[in-house]
Amino acid sequence: MNYLAHIYLSFGDDELALGNFIADSIRGRKYKDYPERVGQGILLHRAIDTFTDAHPTTRRSSKRLHKRYSHYSRVIVDIYYDHFLARDWERYSDTPLTEFADNFYALLEENFDWLPVNIQRLYPYMVADNWLVNYASMEGIARVLQGMNRRTNNKSGMDQAIDDLGWHYEAFREEFHSFFGELIIFSRNKIASF
């Protein structure tokens, strides 16, 4: 799962959302350096990633891309799935996506001083380009994939994955919705276990 899904799967808990969002920047047991609920958000993120990577539906989505993108196929699927969450947002939330995104950007700004440095650097780009809302459009996803390709020094070919999304759009969309309902249940249960 990518940014939007991780934030959503914190279910309105600001501290969980912050931890869930910064988790990829926090290694090992460093989550203990944060307030308890933020640390739980980091652990939630890790649990979501483990569940997602092992799930047969996400594996099916990744397999469709593997020949062209090898190990990058899972990253691409995470981005596709955020597209479908944004595109079909009203299926999962009564809060409009623009409001949800604005609230999260404000939360990041309020907590900016203790965010990891790489997140502080990412923040202005995320807000200026309104990533969370722009995931809903093909153009927005194309920009994300182009950016990911640049991060691999143009070796991954991820910028071409917008074509694969178009070619297999309904299959990926169906797989996302089938999987995401299970992930919501998993995430709620994980949170209840803290």
Could you write out the DSSP letters of every residue in 134-192? Answer: HTTSHHHHHHHHHHHHHHTTT-S-GGGHHHHHHHTHHHHHHHHHHHHHHHHHHHHHHHH
Phi, psi (deg, nearest 5) at residue 130: 45, 55
DSSP state of 76: H
Q: What is the pLDDT of residue 2?
A: 86
With left for phi above 0 and alpha for psi between -120 and 50, is residue 96 left, alpha or beta? beta
Establish if 61 belongs to a structural domain.
Answer: yes
Residue 17 included in any domain: no
What does the alpha-carbon distance between residue 86 and residue 134 come to, in Å, rounded to a whole number? 8
> Nearest 5 degrees, angle CA 135-CA 140-CA 146?
120
pLDDT tens, position by position, 25-83: 999 999 999 999 999 999 999 999 999 999 999 999 999 999 999 999 999 999 999 99
> pLDDT tier at 128 (50, 70, 90 boundaries)?
very high
Report which residue type is found at 76: I
Domain that holds residue 186: 56-192
Please tell me the distance from the alpha carbon of residue 163 to that of residue 161, in angstroms, as a whole number: 5
pLDDT of residue 191: 98
Number of domains the chain contains: 1
The pTM of the full predicted model, rounded to 2 decimals, is 0.95
Residue 1: pLDDT over 70 = no
What confidence tens digit (pLDDT) does each residue in 72-119 have? 999 999 999 999 999 999 999 999 999 999 999 999 999 999 999 999
Closest CA to 179 of 78, 100, 94, 45: 78
Mean pLDDT of the residues in the chain = 96
Q: How far apart are CA 72 and CA 158, in angstroms?
A: 8
% of the chain with per-residue pLDDT over 90: 97
**pLDDT at residue 140 is higher than 70:** yes
